[in-house]
Amino acid sequence: MRFLRSGKVKDIYELDDKHVLFHFSDRVSAFDVKFPSPIPRKGEVLCKFAEFWFKNLPTKNHYVRTEAKDKIIVKKMDIIPIECVVRGYFYGSLIQRWKEGEVKIPEGTNTQIAAKFPTPIFDPTTKSETHDIPITREAALERNLASAADYDWLEKTSLGIYQNMSQIAEKAGFILADLKLEFGKIGDEIILGDSIGPDEYRMWPKESYQVGKIQESYDKQLLRDWLAARGLQKKFEDERKQGLDPVAPELPQDLCNEMSSRYLTSYERITGTRL
């Protein structure tokens, strides 16, 4: 087994010429900044969520088997350098981008925070280990990130996966607000890859959902909100503009424990399985 790289959350190892191992850590990142404070049992939850979604979605994927409580084996594939983001609700960074005219939203959209879109939108970004940037179809084609046919397939398939996951989440009492997916190729075939879990989506409990307010979240939005409330999101952005790498602070233990609890709760409610 050969170590390949350490990402924001996963450590990746090559097993042979066709397979790699994902080791899900307890690390957490937000606003493209890695934090030194671990989230208890996070790696275990992410691993089990990846297994659950790969097994329960109809889209062909690269999952092979679960190796341990925080490790899965997947097929090697050539990653398509586009983060396929689907948004079903008017929330997060999308709001500011819309105000600045950088993104279009469906006609008739209620522009109160957390309002549901008439139809979900495909809002992809570049894929980066440092800072993902929103990208249009035209820009993606100009930069040769994907062919026109592949881009259209990614959009259609991502929207379909979002609908499938939304239905599963709704049965468990959750709203899937948005979702980030990754795909790659094995030969000429595009398949779903990477992992899917609370680091890749926003999940809200239906019982507390209310348009016009910040939502209770069962994902890492809890950390984003904590950072934004303390001016740290802006600090990170300012540091990047100055060409500096943002410095991550230690996180309070009660915040780490609450994130851990919400990750566990969402897994158990969605899958019907206790960890």
Report the alpha-carbon distance of residue 247 to residue 231 in Å, rounded: 13
Strands of the chain (E only): list them. 2-6, 10-14, 19-24, 28-30, 33-35, 63-68, 71-75, 78-79, 82-89, 116-122, 125-126, 174-186, 189-193, 201-205
Cα(93)–Cα(98) distance, rounded to whole angstroms? 9
Which of 124, 179, 117 is closest to 150 using CA atoms? 124
Q: What is the dihedral of CA 195, 47, 215, 178, to 10 degrees?
A: 10
Asked if residue 129 has pLDDT above 70, the reply is no
* CB-side neighbour CA atoms (13 Å) of 12: 14
Q: Is the pTM of this model over 0.85?
A: yes
Domain residue spans in the chain? 2-75, 78-222
Element spanning 196, H or E: none
**How far, in Å, are 34, 65, 161, 224 from residue 10 at the CA level?**
12, 16, 23, 20
Reported as a single tens digit per residue, the pLDDT across 161-206 is 999 999 999 999 999 999 999 999 999 999 999 999 999 999 999 9
The span from the CA of 178 to the CA of 109, in Å, is: 16
C-beta separation of 60 from 192 below 8 A: yes
pLDDT of residue 115: 97
pLDDT of 130 > 60? The answer is no
The CATH code that applies to domain 2-75 is 3.30.200.20
Task: Please write the tens of the pLDDT for every residue from 43-89.
Answer: 999 999 999 999 999 999 999 999 999 999 999 999 999 999 999 99
DSSP 206: G
133 in Cβ contact with 123 (< 8 Å): no
High-pLDDT (> 90) share of the chain, %: 92
Note the pLDDT of residue 65. Answer: 98
One of 3.30.470.20, 3.40.50.2000, 3.40.50.1110, 3.10.20.310 is the CATH number of 78-222, namely 3.30.470.20
